[in-house]
Amino acid sequence: MEKNLICYRVSLHDPAGHRYNVDLTIPHATPEGQTLSLPAWIPGSYLIRDFARQIETLQASCAGQTVDVVKLDSHTWHCAPCDGPLQVSYTVYAWDLSVRGAHFDQTHAFFNGCSLFLAVHGQESSACLLDLVAPAHAHDWKVYTSLPSAQGHTRQAPHHGFGLYQAPDYDALLDHPIEIGTPQTVSFEAHGATHEMVFTGVIPNLDLARIAADTQRICAAQIALFEPETNRAPFLDSSERYVFLITVTGDGYGGLEHRASTALIASRADLPTVGGPAQYSEGYQTFLGLVSHEYFHTWNVKRIKPAAFAPYNLSRPNYTELLWVFEGFTSYYDDLMLLRSGVVSEEDYLRILAKVVSNVHRGGGRHKQSVAQSSFDAWTRFYKQDENSPNALVSYYTKGSLVALGLDIEIRQRSDQKFSLDDVMRLLWQRYGRDFYQGSASGLAEDALPALIQEATNVDLTDFITRYAYGYEDIPVETLLAAQGIELSWEAAAARPSIDARYRATADGLQLATVYEGGPAHQAGLSAGDTLVALNRLRITDTASLDRLLDAYKAGDTVEIHAFRRDELRAHSVRLGEPPALKCVLRRAA
């Protein structure tokens, strides 16, 4: 079996130097010479990452003889023709503590396949083996992944063990990240399907039981949403279990979806501890929202895909205007599922939703870029944000979630509560997702959503989508929510006047991170990157000192602000503005 399959052997070679050794065996190389490549990006994170830059050495051999290798571009190699199995050995540097890459030290090892596994051109649809070699320095380490072990093989990896794992094709091999070490773990079942939560990092007194109970409710609610009759989990087509791989740090946050698992980074302070407060902190609700978001992707993105992603081309950007559907709808449902599962109260849900509304309305970029354009430009703009991004861009996550909210309410109202966005998601699942990994590789066409919504609900929302997803209008959230008995109001965060800017603390002092277009700072000529020194000759050291100085004035007053731009001191006359009413507040009507 092993002799006839492409095999990747991964050795945890150098924990102090953060290096993996990978030995790739290709039993039947292409006669004219074998081309190999590493993905340039990872699905779910729409930016060219150039993972190949971390390959330090690469050489090839055949029957004990060296095979010439020529590098064709930043991530592609060509091996000269050979007679017999081709052996390729390479070393990968792994010091990226993120959900996207690879990380390895004396405490653990983590990697995504996009960082380690070279594609064998022409054989991407072939089954392959992964041979994980136990590290010499850590005899108690275990393996955590949703990748199935190589059934029937004499070196089949035992549960959580080293040895052989198998993937039906290269795409599947990439889609099961792996954590190796001594993490804290807990398991639960949701509608009969096993789920495992793996926490890596120093996390004293972690309340695993509480996290598992809350996550179980979220998972069960999502399974029931998509499969109300069968309650069958989607990942059972590719794995025996779903695995949450969670790296815990001091201040981290993020997630990346996979077909039967997710990689998450969470802040230590957001997680509950045994004997801690019974009430749900905002930080813990944020963590559960992240868990809910990535789990929802098991249906929406990993199986229900835009046509542009079916299949992925990992050598270049894959453009689509539909990320507002796939990320935006997921962002709508992630918090909604917390409410439906009973993990948060309605009051908590309205607070979370109000925060989203506030974030969307804070940036003027929503009047310059639609969420469809934001989706298309993810590769060059959304994932490469700078100090001016709030003035120029809109998020297909946050505004996309408000589009989903609007569609849901419109469907409910226009159908006399007979239908909702749930019916749309179920039709998407039945048509595009349920059989995706069984050979149905079609995806949602760029212009297909309006007709699909009408088919699922008998409601025509073409005009709504045109105005709010492809246009620049603000979604009428206040009117929509009022029909659901929810009152919306706007409040100022403080009574003091404003210069309408965002700040960041630096070693040199308080620096302007963003100057909002049209505000007092913009009108006075202040710019992002300027370090504030004084207001009317009184020193500015941090945000608190600036607030104290502004408290002495009222809107309409003119003050002099001194600031360094690089090493040049400049004076700016600033006419202070009204306290901006930027905080959205949502309440259930009496």
| pLDDT digit string (tens) for the chain, length 590 residues | 466 899 999 999 899 999 999 999 999 999 999 999 999 999 999 999 999 999 999 999 999 999 999 999 999 999 999 988 999 999 999 999 999 999 999 999 999 999 999 999 999 999 999 999 999 888 899 999 999 999 999 999 999 999 999 999 999 999 999 999 999 999 999 999 999 999 999 999 999 999 999 999 999 999 999 999 999 999 998 899 999 999 999 999 999 999 999 999 999 999 999 998 878 899 999 999 999 999 999 999 999 999 999 999 999 999 999 999 999 999 999 999 999 999 999 999 999 999 999 999 999 999 999 999 999 999 999 999 999 999 999 999 999 999 999 999 999 999 999 999 999 999 999 999 999 888 766 899 999 999 999 999 999 999 999 999 999 999 999 999 999 999 999 999 899 999 999 999 999 999 999 999 999 999 999 999 999 999 999 999 999 999 999 999 999 999 999 999 999 999 999 999 999 999 999 999 98
What was the pLDDT predicted at 162? 97
| Helix/strand/coil for 149 | strand
Is residue 586 assigned to a domain? no
Are 165 and 132 contacting, i.e. CB atoms less than 8 angstroms apart? Answer: yes
Same domain, 22 and 118: yes
Residue 86 and residue 123 in contact, taking contact as beta carbons nearer than 8 Å:
no
Q: What is the span of the domain harbouring residue 548?
A: 501-575
Q: Contact at 8 Å (CB) between 276 and 62?
A: no
CATH of the domain at 238: 1.10.390.10
CATH number, position 563: 2.30.42.10
Q: Is pTM, for the whole model, over 0.85?
A: yes
Q: Which contacts qualify for 571-576: CB closer than 8 Å, 24 or more apart?
A: 572/524, 572/525, 572/526, 573/524, 574/499, 574/520, 574/521, 574/523, 574/524, 574/526, 575/520, 575/523, 575/524, 576/497, 576/498, 576/499, 576/520, 576/550
Which tokens is 123 given?
Answer: 């054989």
**Pair (101, 154) in one structural domain:** yes
At 297, the amino acid letter reads H
Asked, for residue 548, whether it belongs to a domain, the answer is yes
- How many domains is the chain partitioned into structurally? 4
pLDDT at 13: 84
* 3-state SS, residue 340: helix
Looking at the fold, whether 412 and 314 belong to one and the same domain comes out as yes
Distance between CA 563 and CA 573 in Å, rounded? 11
Q: d(Cα 548, Cα 205) in Å, to the nearest integer?
A: 40
Boundary residue ending a domain (456, 486, 516): 486
CATH number reported for the structural domain that contains residue 101 in this entry: 2.60.40.3650
Q: What is the pLDDT of residue 442?
A: 86
Residues 481 and 515 in one domain: no
Of the residues 235, 250, 285, the one at which a domain ends: 285
Question: What are the phi and psi torsion angles at 181 (to 5°)?
Answer: 160, -145
Q: Are residues 280 and 315 in the same domain?
A: no
pLDDT at 131: 98
Judgement on whether residues 239 and 175 belong to the same structural domain of the protein: no
Provide the 8-state DSSP code for 475: P
Between CA 12 and CA 137 the distance in angstroms is 9
167 is a domain residue: yes
Q: Which pLDDT belongs to residue 1?
A: 44
Q: How many CA atoms lie within 13 A of 151 on its CB side?
A: 7
Residue 335 lies in a domain: yes
Task: Please indicate, yes or no, whether residues 511 and 567 belong to a single structural domain of this protein.
Answer: yes
If one counts every other C-beta atom within 10 angstroms of the C-beta of residue 276, the result is 13
Give the end of a domain, one of 224, 253, 285.
285
Same domain, 322 and 396: yes
